Structures are given as C-alpha cells and as structure tokens.
Amino acid sequence: MKDIEEILSYSFKNPRLLSQALTHPSALPSGQGVEFERLEFLGDRVLGLVVSQWLFEEFPSEKEGDLAKRLAGLVRKETLVDIAKLIDLDSFMVMKREKSTSGNKRLETLLADGCEALIGALYLDGGLEVSHSFIHHYWKDLFKNTHEPPRDSKSILQEWAQGKGKTHPEYVVVGSSGPAHAPRFIIQVNVNDMDPAIGEGSSKRLAEQKAAQNMLNMIHCHD
C-alpha cells in the first residue's frame, strides 16, 4: 500500500482501513464487503460536510439554492471519477473487471465509490483534519474554475416548464436492477401532455438527471 500512501502524502496508522477502502465487494464472495460500503457511506458524508463548509466560506453572499447547485457539481460521480484518476486509484483497487462498454461505465462507478471509501478511511484514521487536507488539495482547482453556480438538467427542465406554464416535472422509478453494490435505476420524467422521457443511472439522482436531459433533447428537437 506504500505507493498510494506516497501519492496521498499520508501513512495510515491502521493499514487495514486502507485495505478495506481499496477492496470493492465485487472482488469478494457474496455477502462480504460491508466494510467498503460503510466507508463509502461515511466518505460521502465527510466530503459533503467539507465541501459545504468550503462553499459557505468561499461564497458568503450566495443563497442556499446556489450553494446547493455548486455542491451537487463538486460531489457528483463525474467529479469523483476525475479525482480517482488523478491519484491513479484504478491501479490500487481490488475489484471485478469487465471488458465491455458497460464495463467501462461500471468501472467509473466503482472508482467514484472507491474515492468516497478512501475519504472515509482517511477520516477514521486521521480525523477531519486529514480528510479535509485531502479534499482541499484535490478539489482546489475545481473551486478556482467555478465562477457561476452550475445549472443541472433538472433545474433547466423545471425552469422551462414554469416558463411554459406547465406543471413541475414528475420523476417516477420504473425499474431497477443489479446487486446492492452496483445498482441501476430507470426513471421516467413526466411533464403535462408531453411524451415522457427515460433515464438510467447508478443512482436515482443520476437517472433523474439523465431523464431530464433526454426530455430537454426532445424539446430542442421540436423547437
């Protein structure tokens, strides 16, 4: 584990925590891997706390809604994948690998989960100061490049619907599949008399965003 500790510039007092964060349940017998999932859960909350405080201090005049949009952009799956690639997490994680297009998408999900698990392990081993240092180091460039609050697909669709006098978009789960450590959700978005749009993702939030984007694409095609 020394190589990744050199990248992180941190030596774990409890190496077992690092090992658990780097071992995805897909590489273990069924029913094992609870430690990884717990670290991922914790890391997600630690990341949210640290980034929320950072935003609160960095943008003192912004309203809650704009801060929430910035937060969503900074903790989303794509951002976590980018950070995972920066630290070459793929080289250190133990996981089941698939050679296919869907396998590549699944790899990104595993890397995002692994990044959160690593943050959880850093927090448990070194406390908030250590996890805070890691997050500030690897997210600082994202903060520098964020001048305006990002507008996600759901927000854009809702603004469009309001502008057209339509009801707010309604998101409904119409399907789900996959094991607990790699779920897939299918969500349908409905707006008044328009044809519904479908989105699929590894979380309900991502599937909703995809569905909203697909409906926006339909709207633009008819404009």
Residues annotated as catalytic are 44, 116
Q: Are strands 184-190 and 197-201 parallel, antiparallel or unpaired?
A: antiparallel
Query: Distance between CA 66 and CA 54 in Å, rounded?
Result: 14
In order of 19, 139, 147, 214, the CA distances from 60 in angstroms are: 39, 19, 14, 35
Greatest extent of the chain over all pairs of C-alpha atoms, in Å: 59
Q: What angle do CA 154, 86, 9 make, to 5 degrees?
A: 125
Token pair of 87, please? 């630290």
Do 151 and 207 contact (CB within 8 A), yes or no? no
Q: List, in sequence order, every beta strand (DSSP E) within the chain.
A: 170-177, 184-190, 197-201
- The residues, ordered by sequence, that sit 6+ positions from 69 with a Cβ below 8 Å of its Cβ are 149, 150, 151, 152, 155
Of 16, 75, 21, 87, give the one whose Cα is nearest residue 44. Answer: 75
Phi, psi (deg, nearest 5) at residue 94: -100, 115
